[in-house]
Amino acid sequence: MSDLSFKNIVDQYNELLTRTAKYDYFVRDAQIQKMTIEELKSRIAVLKGFKRQARERNDEEAANAFLHMQCVLYSRISSLSMWIELKRHKFHRAWDHLIDAQEYLAYAKRASSKGFGIDDLVAKLVKVEQGIFPGFPLYNSLGLTFKGGVCSVCGKKLEECEHIEEKIYYGVVCRRIRIESIDVDHTALVAEPKDRRCIISEVEDDNGEMRDYITWKVLRKKSTADDKGKIIRGVVYNSHDLDLS
């Protein structure tokens, strides 16, 4: 790929990012946001094609630049999805999309340092988190045991390949995928979990009523069978994964 064609791709990416930024607000029409998501998905598919070509040319810098763009566009998709879910009053799903958006930006920063404006996008999402959601002082954190799984880069057993987990190789983040079996070992409440999607979703208030932690709506009276101590419910494991391939 010549410098000019790479420049064209970057120009088109920047144009798309700038244009879709104006839909990245709560009050924008959900239908427009859905159409924008489809456009962004199409562009990601194209970028993945360029990334594959860069890999075939052994051009790791370009492949990583394409991963950067892929992650930023996925972050925009996640942000738009968050607004759509908020308007549908699906607040827990909206929270998951917000975390997706934040995590994609973190990977974008790692993939390439040549992108610009990422810190502004991160700052915007922090403001959204603080302004829209109540804040989660504690999250669920699992201790688990697992066996098996293969490398997301080469498909071999992670114990048998040279790729190192969380490192980026030609635009692909090395991760353990297709794990054979997972068993929960213990759960804990922590302030800083690995996965911030694992939130406390329901809490018992002082009157013994179970409330949705996000909306504070009363869900039900605590069952008398449960009347030993305070009850909380939450997400302990989320199998959802980002697309970093």
Which residues contact other proteins by CB under 8 A? 103, 105-110, 122, 141-147, 157-160, 162-167, 181, 183, 185, 188, 190, 192-195, 198
Secondary structure of residue 219 in the 3-state scheme: strand
Decide whether 15 or 162 has the Cβ nearer to other proteins: 162
State in angstroms the smallest separation of the CB of 80 from other proteins.
Answer: 21
Residue whose entry in the numeric block shows the structure tokens 């970028």: 47
Decide whether 106 or 132 has the Cβ nearer to other proteins: 106
State in angstroms the smallest separation of the CB of 222 from other proteins.
Answer: 28
State in angstroms the smallest separation of the CB of 224 from other proteins.
Answer: 33
Decide whether 195 or 204 has the Cβ nearer to other proteins: 195
- What is the DSSP pairing of strand 150-151 with strand 176-177? antiparallel
Decide whether 40 or 173 has the Cβ nearer to other proteins: 173
The answer for 229, left when phi > 0, alpha when psi is -120 to 50, beta otherwise, is left
Residue 73's Cβ-count burial label (10 Å; 0-12, 13-18, 19+) is buried
State in angstroms the smallest separation of the CB of 3 from other proteins.
Answer: 27
- CA 144, 126, 97: angle at the middle one, nearest 5? 55
At residue 37, what is the residue type?
Answer: I
Decide whether 193 or 208 has the Cβ nearer to other proteins: 193
Distance in angstroms (rounded) separating the CA atoms of residues 229 and 227: 6
State in angstroms the smallest separation of the CB of 70 from other proteins.
Answer: 15
**What's 230's DSSP letter?**
-
H/E element, 221: strand 218-221
State in angstroms the smallest separation of the CB of 118 from other proteins.
Answer: 8
